[in-house]
Amino acid sequence: MKTDNENRHVACVVKGGKVVGIGRASLAGTSIVYCNKATCRHVVSRHAEMDAIMQVIRNDRRKLRGSTVWSLCMHGAVGLLAKPCLSCKERMAALGVRWCIYSSGESTVIRCRISQLDSSYSNGTKISMQDRVF
């Protein structure tokens, strides 16, 4: 059960001034993403941006071209950093998303073109790239 004190990472896709997809960060299922002799981790997360984009793809993929993705993370009334990771950025660019607006972590939002978004891999992606076992 969620409490009001938990962080909430949410995203939406906006096209022509209308929200066409809404998503939130969550665990999407489980699988082995990192395993060595000492540790196995079974975690797959769905980023809020990809959750919102998948909702649009299920309805009308064409609405992504030229759209804007809003990515916000809130803790109570304080905005936390919600810049899309490199994997999300690459997928958004490939699908034709033009702009990203994200919370900066300083209770402000930043707007930039997807092509100019300076992103890095998420911690989960870094872990899975260290030592893959399939």
* Residue 20 within any structural domain of the chain: yes
Structural domain of 105 = 7-130
Contact 102, 49 (CB under 8 A): no
Q: What is the pLDDT of residue 35?
A: 47
Q: What is the CATH number of the domain that holds 82?
A: 3.40.140.10
Q: Which secondary structure element, helix H or strand E, spans residue 91, and what is its range?
A: helix 86-94
* Residue 21 within any structural domain of the chain: yes
* Residue 116 within any structural domain of the chain: yes
* Residue 2 within any structural domain of the chain: no
Count of domains observed in the chain: 1
Backbone angle region of 96, left / alpha / beta, with phi > 0 → left and psi within -120 to 50 → alpha: left
Least Cα distance to 133 among 48, 32, 45, 64 occurs for 32
* Residue 34 within any structural domain of the chain: yes
Cβ neighbours of residue 17 under 8 Å, at least 6 residues apart? none
Q: What is the pLDDT of residue 129?
A: 61
* Residue 109 within any structural domain of the chain: yes
Q: What is the pLDDT of residue 133?
A: 46
Residue 65 CA from chain centroid, whole number: 18
Q: What is the pLDDT of residue 69?
A: 97
* Residue 78 within any structural domain of the chain: yes
Helix 48-60 with 86-94: angle, nearest 10 deg: 20
Q: What is the pLDDT of residue 92?
A: 94
Report the C-alpha gap between 12 and 18 in whole angstroms: 10
Q: Which residues of the chain have pLDDT under 50?
A: 1-5, 30-35, 42-43, 133-134
132 φ, ψ to 5°?
A: -80, 135
